[in-house]
Amino acid sequence: MAIDPSKFHLVNVVDTCAVWNVLSSTRLYSAAKEARCEFCVTGFVLYECLVKKRRAQKPTDKELMGRLQRAQRDGAFKVHETTIDDLQRVAQLEQRKRLGKGELSTIAFAMKINQAVMTDDQKARRLAQDVGHPLVQTTPYLYAWLIFTRRLSEADKSAIIQQHEETGQILRPHFEDAHEKALISMMNSGPRI
């Protein structure tokens, strides 16, 4: 998926992996909030994040769960329940790819309300694009946009990646690639006043 760091849709229906990736860095999440990005989840995603049993819960899982709960208390990551129609759309999507209910409900709900799907899962991104949803974004894309719009600086890069990795997340190469794309876009866009 090619990204344009100069553009980012502010309202995002976020799947489970993207919830963890956005919250993995307090600096990244803070910059996203300052930029007025909105993140919401479906009931399926909230279940996967906070209720679904894990084989072995790590301290980083507990930390991310706590961050999500605090964000929700602050009014972020609002939960939207899916309707019977949404679930039928999920069933139709499920026949096309082997994805979890969280990813499928995220795509179906984003399509319903015509907002961006935010997922870091390649199969989910492909499916959203295959069914004709034009608004598909990732956490590295958010990062690139925040760099491009100067809400994050060059100095934030190492802290964001370090915080991200400390929570057990694995997007370092994608953040580095997004960083490079943001810098190239900034150079190509000329001086900003």
The answer to whether position 155 is within a domain reads yes
What is the domain-level CATH number for residue 40?
3.40.50.1010
The answer to whether position 10 is within a domain reads no
Q: pLDDT grade, residue 138 (50/70/90)?
A: very high
Range 52-61 contact pairs with CB under 8 angstroms and sequence separation of 24 or more? 58/168, 60/166, 60/167, 60/168, 61/168
Q: pTM, whole model, 2 decimals?
A: 0.94
The answer to whether the CB of 127 falls within 8 A of the CB of 97 is yes
Collapsing DSSP to helix, strand or coil, 131 comes out as: coil
Q: How far apart are alpha carbons 61 and 26 in whole angstroms?
A: 15
Q: How far apart are alpha carbons 188 and 24 in whole angstroms?
A: 30
Residues belonging to the chain: 193
How many Cβ atoms sit within 10 Å of the Cβ of residue 150?
10
The answer to whether position 7 is within a domain reads no
Query: pLDDT digit string (tens) for 49-84?
Result: 999 998 888 999 999 999 999 999 999 999 998 887
The answer to whether position 123 is within a domain reads yes
Q: Domain containing 45: what range? A: 15-188
In the predicted structure, residue 193 carries a pLDDT above the cut 60 = no
What pLDDT, on the 0 to 100 scale, is given for residue 73?
98
What pLDDT, on the 0 to 100 scale, is given for residue 90?
67
The DSSP secondary structure of 23-40, one letter per residue, reads HT-HHHHHHHHHTT-EEE
Amino acid letter, 95: Q
In the predicted structure, residue 146 carries a pLDDT above the cut 80 = yes
Number of folded domains that form the chain: 1
Name the residue with higher pLDDT: 129 or 160. Answer: 160
The answer to whether position 37 is within a domain reads yes
Tell me the average pLDDT across 141-170: 97
The answer to whether position 9 is within a domain reads no
Tell me the average pLDDT across 129-154: 95
Q: pLDDT grade, residue 86 (50/70/90)?
A: confident
